[in-house]
Structure formats: structure tokens, C-alpha cells
Structure 1
């Protein structure tokens, strides 16, 4: 039996931008059974053994590559997956473009001004300060989305409804399909520690 095509609702934004809150709201309102797959959950599953600083980036990259493959597998099984990720390094997007059926991906830009991100980081206290600032200039550099949200002005619920509304009327090429046409200018998917 062949599974029906899955759907990947891919939320991309910096740390503290509101992706997880939007995902939680989406799962309440989507018409089908859906799964929230945040990249942070994969990092949280890592064993607690100490990692030497010079090996940390390689550890993170391997986990992220595995995360991408888990998402692809869930979608290939016919599931609706809400992905919560940070495309702060070019190879991450390139890897996803290689793995995901581009017509089955809705790419959502989750935006928030830097001062608000920094305020949220301080209020949360569970993230390294400055993480959002490190990601801010890089996370949206590819510049192509199906839907965009600004969480400084819209609530997670409002963003979720905006995404659901887009799903009900989407047609034409997806952002992932358009990004594939730009593929020649992207770096190879294998990370090199940069």
C-alpha cells in the first residue's frame, strides 16, 4: 500500500521568535492529525556526556542531518508534520531541498524584531543570551517563503490561522520549488564546520 503524500509545514525563524508557540496552535486547528517536530527535541535527546568544544559543531551538524531525515521519513509516510527549525546555515536549507518533496512543503518565515527577540531571551532564561542575535542576520537570507508571520504584532493563534488560511487556498509553485530553481548558487549540503 502506498501512503498518500505528506505535508511539511516548515516554520523557520530565530530562537525565541515564536515557532513552537505557533506550532502548538497549528496542531489545535489543522484538519488532519499532525505532528510537531522541533529540532530542539532532537538536541534534547542527546546523551548528557560532555562534548569538547572543538567537537560541538560536528555533533550539532550530525543531529541536524538526522533531524532532516526524520522529517522526510514522517512526510514520506503520509503524515502532516509541523517543523520548528532555524535555517541559520546555508547547508541546512540545501540538505532539506535534497530530501523533501518540494511540492509538499509550505515554508513559513517567522519574523520578530531583534530587540523583542532579546527581551524574550532574557525573560525565558533557558537559552544562551545572544543566540537570536547570532542567527538574526542569517536565518532568512534565502528570502523566499509561502507565508510570513511577524510575532511581534500577531499572536501565535493569529499566525496559525494565517498559515491554515494559506493551506486552504495554496496553488502554484511552492517556495521550495522556487528555491530549487536557484539551487546552482547554493553551497553543497555537506557541512564543513562553517
Structure 2
């Protein structure tokens, strides 16, 4: 069975990842793609109040489970658009461990800080300042196959760039390069 392709969108909260993912599902015509979002996994968690330690442990397990769910879906041949916030180094390291790096198109989704703050206020469903907290963390690893800026391009324009780039994924991919780097550092 041929593994599925993974378009992996990484950016801060409110950077436009989910909007790009929805556009990709509408325009990708060479397979059946599924959108897997870390926010959707978070929304499945119980709503009762959790103590800080319990919450942190649940959040970590959620991320670990999300990564393995992505890997399982791709392993059986599903093409995926993944929307994630790699704001802690262990999240990327875990993804590098469980995902086949040659199947991943790693896309950095950028947006100017002022625009992130404006979007966050307009949404009203995010902790104020969350995107600003994540801003310097999510792209710290510094290696992508492709990057988009939703401050200067619409989600549709970003999706079109990704669609055009998909058949021309580099070899080695950013995930392959990062896996080598992380294993050398580890």
C-alpha cells in the first residue's frame, strides 16, 4: 500500500492554517484529502476544569495521540492536510519520529504579529496574546519546504501555491533534513 501524502501546515494560532486547509480541500484534485487539525483533537477533550498539572499532562497526551493518528491515516494511504502549532520543540521532534519524512510537505504559515493580534481579537475564541506567545517559537527550527504569508496573500492564494508546489517536493524534504539534524543533536 502506498502511504499518503501529508501537507503539514505549521504556524501560530490565528495565522490562517485552517483557512488554507479548507481551501486546499476545495482545490486539490489528485486524490482524496482529509483535514486533520490539532484544534479538533483538543475540542474532543472533556470540558470539566482540570488542575494545571492534569491539564498539561492531558495536553501532551493529546498532541502525542494526534501525531500518531496522522501517521496511521497516512500509513494506510490517506492524503492529509495537517494543521498544527509546533510551539514546543518536543512536538516537532515527535512528528519527525512518527511521520515518514519523505511523505511530508512542510509548510510554514506566517503572518505579521499585528495582524495576528487583530485576528485574535476578532475571533474572540482564543486566549488573548496566545499568538504573540507562540510567535517566536513555532518557526524556531528554521527549515521548510515552502512558506506562505497570510498577511500578504489570501488563504486561497496560499493554497494555490501549495497545490502548484506539491508535485515538485524537494528531495530531501525539510522533514528529512530536520530528522537528521535532530538525531545529531539528540
Q: Which residue number corresponds to residue 21 of structure 2? A: 23
TM-score computed with the length of structure 2 as normaliser: 0.96
Q: Which residue number corresponds to residue 136 of structure 1? A: 135
Q: CA deviation at 1:185?
A: 5.4
Q: CA deviation at 1:100?
A: 0.5
Q: CA deviation at 1:27?
A: 0.5
The SS at the match of 1:182 is helix
On the 8 A contact 1:13/1:19 being kept in 2, the answer is yes
5+ residue gaps in structure 2? none
Is 2:177 aligned against 1:178? yes
TM-score computed with the length of structure 1 as normaliser: 0.92
Distance (whole Å) between structure 2 residues aligned to residue 25 and residue 50 of structure 1: 35
Count, aligned residues: 185
Instruction: Give CA deviations for 1:118-148 in whole Å, capped at 9, x if unaligned.
Output: 0000000011101001100100000000010
5+ residue gaps in structure 1? 188-194
On the 8 A contact 2:25/2:33 being kept in 1, the answer is yes
RMSD: 1.1
Q: Which residue number corresponds to residue 155 of structure 2? A: 156
On the 8 A contact 1:90/1:186 being kept in 2, the answer is no
Distance (whole Å) between structure 2 residues aligned to residue 47 and residue 169 of structure 1: 41
Instruction: Give CA deviations for 1:50-85 in whole Å, capped at 9, x if unaligned.
Output: 211232111111100000000000000101010000
Distance (whole Å) between structure 2 residues aligned to residue 128 and residue 14 of structure 1: 13
On the 8 A contact 2:74/2:80 being kept in 1, the answer is yes
Pairing 1:1-20 to 2, within 5 Å after superposition:
3-20=1-18
Q: CA deviation at 1:186?
A: 4.9
Is 2:107 aligned against 1:108? yes
On the 8 A contact 1:12/1:110 being kept in 2, the answer is yes
Structure 1 residue ranges (4+ consecutive) displaced by more than 3 angstroms after TM superposition: 184-187
Instruction: Give CA deviations for 1:92-139 in whole Å, capped at 9, x if unaligned.
Output: 000000000100000000000111100000000011101001100100
On the 8 A contact 1:111/1:151 being kept in 2, the answer is yes
